[in-house]
A and B are shown apart, each in its own frame.
Chain A
Amino acid sequence: MRAETSSPKSGETTWLWLTKLVTGVLVIVLLFVHLIVNHLVAPNGLLSYREVAEYLALPGIAFMESTFLVIVIAHALLAMRSVLLDLKPSRAVLSGINWSFLLIGVGATVYGIWLLQVIVQRGTAG
C-alpha cells in the first residue's frame, strides 16, 4: 500500500492545507460533542419545533452549534477546492472557484447563524 499521506498540492498553500486538516479533526470532536449533547438533552432526538427551540436556548448550545457550523463549512469548501485542484484548473478558473467558495462560505455561515439566532430568540421568548 502506498503511503496515503496528505500535503499541500499545486494551488494549495500550506496554511490552507493545514486549515483543512485541523478543521477536519475539529469536525470530528464537535460532531461527537454535538451527538452526545443531543442525546443527553433529548434522548429521543429533537423531533419537534418546540424541542429544537428549547435545546438551542440552553446556555452555550448556540455558541457550540455556531462553531460547528463554521468549521464544517470551512472544511467542506476547502476539501471541495482540493478535489477541484485535481482537475488542474487554469489560473482564471481557480480564481473564480476561490471567489465562489468564499461567497458560498460567508453566505452559508451568515445564513446559519441568523437562523440560529431566530430560533434562540423564539425559544427564549416562548
Chain B
Amino acid sequence: MDVPTSSKTRSSANIPLWLDVRGRKAGMWAFIFNRLTGLGLVLYLCLHLVALSQLATGPQAYDSFIALAKNKVFALGELLVVAAGFYHGLNGLRIALNSFGVGVPRQQALFYGIFALSALITVVFAAKMLFAG
C-alpha cells in the first residue's frame, strides 16, 4: 500500500499544512480531488434527502420547491454535482482497479485521462443545463 494519504505526514494538529499546495504531485492531486468531490457529494446527498422530504408534505409543497429550483443558481449547483460525480466515480474505479493490481503502470495516464474526460463531460452538461433553451 502506498496511499498518498494525509495521515502519513499531516496529523490533525497541523491541518493548515493540508492547504499547502506546493510540491504536490499528480497522485496527491488525484487524492485531494477525490476527497473534495466525495465530501461535496455527501453534502449533496444530505441536501437531496432534505429536498425530497417535500414529497411527504404534498404536491403543492413539492411543486413549489421545483419551481423555486428552476433557476441558474440551482443549475450551477447541479452542474457541480455532475462534475464531482463523474470525477469521483471514474477516479474511484481507477483506484479500485489499481488496488487489485490492474493498470498500476498506467495510473498516471489514467488519472489525466479521467480528469480530461470529466472536464469534457462537465462542459457538455454545462452547455445543456446553463445555455440550452
Contacts and interface: CB of A to CB of B under 8 A. Distances in A.
Interface of A: 1-7, 9, 21, 24-25, 27-28, 31, 47-50, 52, 72-73, 76, 79-80, 83, 85-88, 108, 111-112, 115, 118-119
Interface size range of chain B in the complex: 35 or more
Given A50-B59, A83-B35, A88-B7, A4 B95 contact: yes
Given A4-B27, A72-B45, A86 B7 contact: yes
A49 B96 contact: no
Interface of B: 1-7, 11-12, 25-27, 30-31, 35, 38-39, 41-42, 45, 49, 52-53, 55-56, 58-59, 62-63, 66, 85, 89, 92-96, 98-99, 104, 107-108, 111
B42 A28 contact: no
B34 to A, nearest CB: 9
Given A9-B7, A86-B5, A48 B99 contact: no
A85 B2 CA distance: 16
B53 A115 contact: yes
Majority secondary structure of chain A interface residues (helix, strand, loop or mixed): helix
A7 to B, nearest CB: 4
A3 B85 CA distance: 23
6 contacts: A4-B4, A4-B27, A5-B98, A21-B96, A48-B63, A88-B7
